[in-house]
């Protein structure tokens, strides 16, 4: 008799938890554990296995699937967990750059898995508190950094402000005196130090990437014509940069403003006009003067 999808999922979850805390087991031992811990699930297995033993259903249908996932092997009737640095040592999910280590260099996807796992061995090393604090921050900051890099318009003032705050946060964390020793020794003192160092390095790379987004990239080109900006650029109320008045006018024609002009817009325009005039004409202006050069500079 087949079992429902829901029960299949229950069984798979039970088996994952079971292997998290029993790295080698026969199918018979699994059934014994079910007898002690989950008679309801055992009954479902008995029904599914019909006239065969209760272990025949998982042996034929569930365990081979887990084996295909890549973290379980079968040898002489014994199922064995295959640990790998790419998987959580408890729930066997794939892990990326965010994980917790223990003294045996097992990796765990979260504190939840770490606390659940019978095999977890607290590293008996110094800097443990520093490590857990740092991990907790790292776990939230790294995904945020990646989120910040996904196609956001950093010509907008409000987006730039958020990005700037994030960079400051990262930098103040990396420069925290608590980490200076780990940075100085490049994490070579212990496996815990190596982990702190790894996370600090990743965050500092992210900070540099965000810095590029903030100062370079989109900010160096005109929002309208995409040509690169020089010192004559003009800025609008949203903080968007344009190479010239013409590009700003063209942009406004296509994207009419929905709000009143800024109260200082005229002053800005006047000052910018004189600034550009000086930029373009200072040489000619000064070379026409034969006397009182200093006064001419002051006049400028």
Q: Which residues of the shown chain bind Zn ion in the complex (CB under 5 A)? A: 88, 90-91, 109, 113, 222, 224-225, 243, 247
Our CB check for Zn ion shows the closer of 61 and 119 to be: 119
Minimum CB distance to Zn ion smaller for 54 or for 113: 113
Pick 116 or 285: Cβ nearer Zn ion: 116
Least distance to Zn ion, CB of residue 88, Å: 3
Phi-psi region of 127 (alpha: psi -120 to 50; beta: other; left: phi over 0): left
Nearest approach in angstroms of CB 139 to Zn ion is 13
Q: How far is the CB of 100 from Zn ion (least distance, A)?
A: 9
Residue closer to Zn ion by CB (options 214, 247) is: 247
Q: CB neighbours of 163 closer than 8 A, spacing ≥ 6?
A: 148, 152, 154, 210, 213, 214
* Minimal distance, residue 235 CB to Zn ion, in Å: 13
As a whole number of angstroms, the distance between CA 30 and CA 103 comes to 28
Cα(45)–Cα(109) distance, integer angstroms: 30
> Phi-psi region for residue 92, left (φ > 0), alpha (ψ -120 to 50) or beta?
left
DSSP per residue, 149-173: TSS--TTSHHHHHHHHHHHHHHHHH
- Report in angstroms how near the CB of residue 7 gets to Zn ion at its nearest: 23
Residue 104 backbone zone (phi > 0: left; psi -120 to 50: alpha; other: beta): alpha
Pick 7 or 250: Cβ nearer Zn ion:
250
As given in the structure block, the two tokens for residue 2 are 């087949």
């Amino acid at each position: 008799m087949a079992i429902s999808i829901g029960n299949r999922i229950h069984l798979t979850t039970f088996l994952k938890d079971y292997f998290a805390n029993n790295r080698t087991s026969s199918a018979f031992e699994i059934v014994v554990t079910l007898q002690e811990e989950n008679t309801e699930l055992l009954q479902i297995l008995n029904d599914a296995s019909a006239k065969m033993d209760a272990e025949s259903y998982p042996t034929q249908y569930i365990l081979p699937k887990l084996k295909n996932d890549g973290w379980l092997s079968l040898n002489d009737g014994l199922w064995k967990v295959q640990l790998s640095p790419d998987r959580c040592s408890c729930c066997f999910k794939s892990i990326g750059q965010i994980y917790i280590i223990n003294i045996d260099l097992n990796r765990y996807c979260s504190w939840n898995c770490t606390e659940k796992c019978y095999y977890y061995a607290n590293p008996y090393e110094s800097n443990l508190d520093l490590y857990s604090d740092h991990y907790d921050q790292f776990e939230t900051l790294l995904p945020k950094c990646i989120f910040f890099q996904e196609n956001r318009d950093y010509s907008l003032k409000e987006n730039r402000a958020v990005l700037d705050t994030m960079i400051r946060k990262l930098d103040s964390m990396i420069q925290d005196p608590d980490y200076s020793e780990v940075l100085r020794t490049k994490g070579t003192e212990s496996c815990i130090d190596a982990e702190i160092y790894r996370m600090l390095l990743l965050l500092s790379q992210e900070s540099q990437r965000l810095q590029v987004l903030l100062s370079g990239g989109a900010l160096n080109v005109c929002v309208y014509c995409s040509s690169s900006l020089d010192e004559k650029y003009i800025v609008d109320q949203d903080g968007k940069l344009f190479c010239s008045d013409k590009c700003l006018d063209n942009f406004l024609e296509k994207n009419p403003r929905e709000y009143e002009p800024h109260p200082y817009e005229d002053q800005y325009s006047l000052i910018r006009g004189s600034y550009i005039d000086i930029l373009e004409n200072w040489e000619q202006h000064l070379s026409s003067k034969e006397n009182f050069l200093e006064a001419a500079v002051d006049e400028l």
